[in-house]
Structure 1
Amino acid sequence: MRVLIADKFESEGIDGLKALGCKVRSEPEAGPDTLPDLLADFDPEVLIVRSTKVPAPVINAGGSLKLIIRAGAGYDNIDTNAAADRGVAVCNCPGMNAAAVAELTIGLLVACDRRIGDQTAQARAGKWNKKEFSAARGLKGRTLAIIGVGAIGQEVIQRAKAFDMRIVVWSRRMSVERADELGVVSGGSTREDLLKLAAEADAVSVHVAATNDTKNLIDAEFLARMKPGAIFINTSRGSVVDQDALCKAAAEKPLRVGLDVYADQPADKACDWTSTAAKIPWAVLTHHCGASTDQAQLAVAEETVRIVSEFMKNGSTPNLVNEPRAAAAR
């Protein structure tokens, strides 16, 4: 089986694919502009990507393509509908990077509370300002609202408990019984509950998937309810937050903001970039690297190899995220 890897991928994963008997081609610098030619030349049955975008023209260029694997959890970089139309299955690797994203979430939370980024910038500028930076609120006893309690949200819960924070969770399927299982307080499941939680929280951390239902879930109405000086963290997807509304609320209230994802983030892996989020005072900004730890990427690679192995054995597609229709004429 021919496997094209169009992104950076752990060497252990490449070795694992070869051990299955796959013919593997690794193109870590591939992008949507170069992928059609690569697919036409190598003609893989399996395409593996991390952040590389896979739009319809790429999918249509794969004459033998049967399976696309997103080596990670979110799959909004893949046109799953176009894949379904071509009879191509799309699978992901959920939960493998949950601990890594949770670690960054807590890092952003602490960095926002202690203004670590601003302190570092002033130190590098040759300034000492203990007077200004000796006014942190601290996290112990503060109310942390966690929006979404999938694998990542649950990992954040575990870590936030170590800070003795009061944790309140919201999701569309939340119940008092489920909250009790997690050892947290239920923040409800409705839009009204979400807005109420915004007003209650000292910090908010978002962990929902990017779907039509979650687009701009965090909007001007939600942000208007947040306390002045509260912390807002997003390590999920940029589309979940109305970024213009966030910039406005952060400046006016103000809010302390930690972001790893953006509505205006580039598709390229490295390029010049001017984001509206960079104008937010006191913001701590990272480069969509939440899942990028050695531990997480090794776990993702192992799960990717497992998916390919199952597909080779019996045609099964673990973690299927679309509904491929009968293979179209190619």
Structure 2
Amino acid sequence: MNQVALPLPLPHPAPVVADRAGFDIGWDHAHLGLVPAAGLLQQGGAVCQGWMAGKAVFGRRVPASSRATRQWLQLRLRAWQEAATLDADEVTPEVVARLQATHCPVLRLPLGGAANQPDAAVIEPLAPAAAWAAGRLATLSRRAAKAWDGLDVDALWRRARAAQLGCTEVDGLDAGAWWRLTALRAFATPLHFATATRLPLALLPPPGVELCNPVQRLQLRVTSLFLKPGWAARCRGLAERLPEQALRHDFLFFVGALTPRVLEAGSDPHTLGQALEDAWLLERVQRRWQHFVLSLGEVRCAALLQEMADQGRAATPAPLRRPAALRISQPELLAA
């Protein structure tokens, strides 16, 4: 019996994903049962491809999504649209959840307006030109985010100085708000030591924000001494660790400049935190700080930070660990 070979159609090749980030965003929308904006569902677009592929796999079998997860997707989508780098494995929904805030740290007003309102909460990259990474993101109001759009530390500093010297608002914000924006941008912008010394700590870092400049880290460590009762003893203890008598005097003069605002604020943590931020804007406080930290110098500043960190670790009890025999990895459990 002769068999006739029938021509069979060749299978279509798997679609080539030219834009993996966009495809993954669409895929994750489908995985969570969410639909991207209509403009992103154009046939052939990366987000559309990922969403359709995900829909084919997950169908209606999707988990409930939290607010942080939806914000995580929105943040990834914005980074993709702005051609910014964001590592979705590093910036996770858990990281985004730690950025939640009830008030805008810049305007000091409640958050919670509709998506396009000035008081709506938005997650902002602190250094847009760099990768959007954990430690470089913060929640602001849309109004504050719009104010600093496209401005670097120098431009923000000039606006803060103009508002402060003119005793007037600049582009709708007062001097305090501009100084807080300047500090926030500087947290994620590497600065020369001398440049960083002239910046007041006008804003205590919001949740999840890390500081990249040693001078600002020292500012934060020193300011944090005042946030709990017993600050006078802690300040004296820090002064005693300084290597020279002149440095000890300079530091205590700085403490004396801050003290009146601390005493006026009382013990309420929120009020005290804002009072310390405002105290940093006083000319006398800035002058005393700059004299101290410039006398300390860059090398000794780093050494003092390291010494304070070592002391903090020594005072922290070691975490409890499970016995080695019980620490079994997931693959080993599966194999067992």
Question: Into which bin does the TM-score normalised by the smaller protein fall?
Answer: under 0.3
TM-score, structure 2 as length reference: 0.26
TM-score, structure 1 as length reference: 0.26
- Structure 1 or 2: larger helix share? 2
- Structure 1 or 2: larger strand share? 1
Please say which structure displays the higher CA radius of gyration: 2
